[in-house]
Amino acid sequence: MSSQARIDEIVLPVITRWLTHRAVDSALVTVLVLNYLISILGTWSPTFPGFVLSTSILGSYGALFWWLTSKSSMKPWQLVLCIGTISLLTFISGLVLAVDVGFNWLLYLVTVTLYFTHLSLRSALILSPLLYLVAGINMFILGGWHKLFPSWVSLLAGFGFVAIFALSDRLLKQEQKRSQKLFHQLEGSKQELEQAHQQLQAYANEVEELAKARERTRLARDIHDTLGHYLTIISIQLETISKLQERDQARAIVEVEEAKRVAAQCMQEVRHAVAALRPRSTASLNIPEALSQLGNEFRLVTPEIDLTLDLETTLPALSAELQLAFYRAAQEALTNVRKHAQASKVLVRLRYEDEILELVIRDNGQGSLPAPGREQSSGFGLIGLRERIELLGGEVAFGPLEAAGYRVAVQIRVPQTLKAPADLLMQESEA
């Protein structure tokens, strides 16, 4: 790497940082250099003692300035000592006028700027008028009363300008720090949200796996209970037939017919299990169509039960989650009717009135609850159904009827936010 490239690599970043992030400090350094040149060249024949004294004062001032501006933080006593020494040097610089050195008026402006950039606003507002008074004293020593007033008024404008400039820069830096702090907080919040999203995704995956495992367990239990029960009966009947076929053929024929009936019932149970496994797209169906499809499957599996579907109602816009919950409610209720009710008739009714969506399934069976342990054999048991509906803000009621039969009712409030155009026109005409 060449020496020029090395210099550019080292020097350019420093210059860029001073011109962008430390623009005020860069301006003050420029003013100090100009102040030194003016104090030396501002007189035609500066004496050697004046030259040495002025150079010493400005050198000490520059060293303190560099120390003050280069430190990101300092102790309070260090700040007070540094600012106090700078103020003293500013006052002394006005006294060297007696040795034929030009008036260092720019040094006062630099000191005022340091007041407003490094001290509290209250301290800066107190010290600035005092420094202005010191400048007036120095001017009086230099030229007397006849030169004091015009020069002092001109210096007042300079004091006001640099004070406003320094205060604006201070407020700007405070806003930048506040913006950076807010940005870091937003970055932290973003990371926390991403972590929370990942955790929620992991929890959702775990819940999905648990739901799949629970559904597999339910299906295994249903198939085991159903097929095991019927196959055991058929096995016993076949054993009985083998023993009776020589001694009592008439009874053997009866047992054969009974075995055929049991086998037919077993086939119905298998069909029902397969129908439960068949994938459904309830999200693409509205709830009346989904319930109608469920009713057709029920009639196919249990033709001996007369099913009535009362689904003629005007529905508002329903979410897929709500439609799925009502579909599962009807599925669970019809499953219990088929398995436990011993009914000959069942009614499925869907109604939407007064912003209440209601689904009722009632039968004329024995009206008793499922046997202990059987209610939860379905993945969508009545207790699970109630929990599902309550999560959506609805309620579920189920129980035997007074006369005969069993009733399951699901209700949920669904506001009708959108009205049909015809209804709007009718309201406007009535108004």
pLDDT recorded at residue 204: 82
On the question of pLDDT at 207 being above 70, the answer is yes
The token pair that represents 291 in the structure block: 């319930």
pLDDT recorded at residue 417: 63
Mean pLDDT of 269-280: 63
pLDDT recorded at residue 131: 81
pLDDT band at 345 (very low <50, low <70, confident <90, very high): very high
pLDDT recorded at residue 25: 60
pLDDT band at 9 (very low <50, low <70, confident <90, very high): low
On the question of pLDDT at 428 being above 50, the answer is no
- 321 CB contacts (<8 Å, ≥6 apart)? 392
Q: Which residue has the higher pLDDT, 39 or 105?
A: 105
Mean pLDDT of 79-104: 69
pTM of this structure: 0.39
Under 8 Å between Cβ of 345 and 305: yes
What average pLDDT is seen over the chain? 74
Q: What is the pLDDT of residues 415-427, one digit of tens each?
A: 876 444 444 334 4
Under 8 Å between Cβ of 85 and 68: no
Share of the chain above pLDDT 70, in %: 68
Distance between CA atoms of 197 and 304, rounded to whole angstroms? 51
Q: Which residue has the higher pLDDT, 227 or 352?
A: 352
DSSP class of residue 374 equals T
pLDDT band at 58 (very low <50, low <70, confident <90, very high): confident
pLDDT recorded at residue 363: 92
- 114 CB contacts (<8 Å, ≥6 apart)? 28, 65, 68, 83, 86
pLDDT recorded at residue 226: 63
Question: How do beta strands 345-353 and 406-413 pair?
Answer: unpaired
Under 8 Å between Cβ of 63 and 54: no
Q: Name the helix (H) or strand (E) containing 106.
A: helix 105-118
On the question of pLDDT at 409 being above 90, the answer is yes
Query: Which domains does the chain carry?
Result: 3-143 (no CATH), 281-431 (3.30.565.10)
The token pair that represents 399 in the structure block: 């129980």
pLDDT recorded at residue 310: 92
pLDDT recorded at residue 306: 92
On the question of pLDDT at 206 being above 50, the answer is yes
Distance between CA atoms of 220 and 206, rounded to whole angstroms? 21
pLDDT band at 118 (very low <50, low <70, confident <90, very high): confident
On the question of pLDDT at 250 being above 60, the answer is yes
